[in-house]
Amino acid sequence: MLDENRENLFDLSGKNALVTGVSRGLGQYLSRALASAGADLVITSRDKDDCRGFVDEIRDMGRSAHAFSLDVRREESIQNLGNELTAKGLQVDILVNNAGCNVRKPSLEITWEDWNTVLDTNLRGMFFMCQTFARPMLERRSGKIINIGSATCVFGMGGIVPYSASRGGVMQLTRALADEWGSFGVNVNVLAPGWFRTQQNDILYQDERWYDYICDRIPFGRPGKPNDLDGAVVFLASDASQYVTGQVLLVDGGFTTGSTRAILEK
């Protein structure tokens, strides 16, 4: 029989989760999962009005939800968010750094602007979000930081070189922060989805040959569904992962195993 204090390891009641990039896609999937586990939400987008309908959805679930504008590429925007939350008395117990972008081009066509846009969003912005919201966590000696990466944290992919570089950086950033902040009771991990259909990659899914190719290389034979991420994000946000830090949790249906299933079956 479980110790009474350990029966609710996955319960997030009484916790506030800040999730970035929630206007659409994975940000909303992750937010729903956290709210379902009991967390109240602070959600952000570059235009907070884009989150208005989603705020209502979370409140209909019986959870508190607040939306704020945030551009992680701008230092003052991150600082202003921190000040706004402090002024409203909103403590951040769980930080989910989900905001991200991509540029799909052959490497010889990538511009300085392309590179800076992707790295500033996916890596620099993530670091300064961690820095800003870890400060009170370190003082309280408690907090969960979940940096959203992708399968490209661990392998490279042509045609999205800046994105792949940024995701490799996310893995190393997370490991370094986990090492530095572990003694303060703050967990820092990467949640790395595989192939999930989002607005950012929707154009790929419209190509039937590409879709079949990808499915052939996923042992489960399909891309991820939104609720495939639920357990992983709640685990990393909850007391269940209290002794887990500096790790990359891949939720990819086995894609990064390098499966040769399709080749062997033909």
Domain ranges of the chain: 11-265
User: 163, 205, 213, 243: which one is catalytic?
Assistant: 163
Closest CA relative to residue 193, chosen from 25, 79, 60: 25
The two three-digit tokens of residue 116, written as one number = 């800076």
b/e per residue 15-47 (b: at least 16 CB within 10 A): bbbbbbbbbebbbbbbbbbbbebbbbbbbbbbe
Predicted local distance difference test score (pLDDT) of residue 157: 85
Instruction: Give SS3 for 137.
Output: helix
Cβ–Cβ < 8 Å for 154, 197: no
Q: What is the distance between the alpha carbons of residues 217 and 130, in angstroms, rounded to a whole number?
A: 34
Sign of CA dihedral 101, 164, 188, 257: positive
Give the pLDDT confidence of 155-174 residue by residue, as tens digits: 888 999 999 999 999 999 99
Cβ–Cβ < 8 Å for 100, 121: yes
Which regions of the chain are under pLDDT 70? 1-7, 199-200, 259-266
Give the pLDDT confidence of 197-221 residue by residue, as tens digits: 876 677 777 778 878 888 898 999 9
Predicted local distance difference test score (pLDDT) of residue 266: 53
Q: What is the distance between the alpha carbons of residues 2 and 180, in angstroms, rounded to a whole number?
A: 32
Alpha helices, H only, the chain: 26-36, 52-60, 75-87, 112-119, 125-140, 161-181, 202-205, 208-216, 230-237, 261-265
**Residue 218 to residues 46, 57, 260, Cα–Cα distance (Å):** 34, 33, 9
Superfamily of domain 11-265 in the CATH hierarchy: NAD(P)-binding Rossmann-like Domain (3.40.50.720)
Instruction: Give SS3 for 168.
Output: helix
Predicted local distance difference test score (pLDDT) of residue 198: 73
Q: What is the distance between the alpha carbons of residues 171 and 74, in angstroms, rounded to a whole number?
A: 22
**Residue 163 known to be catalytic:** yes
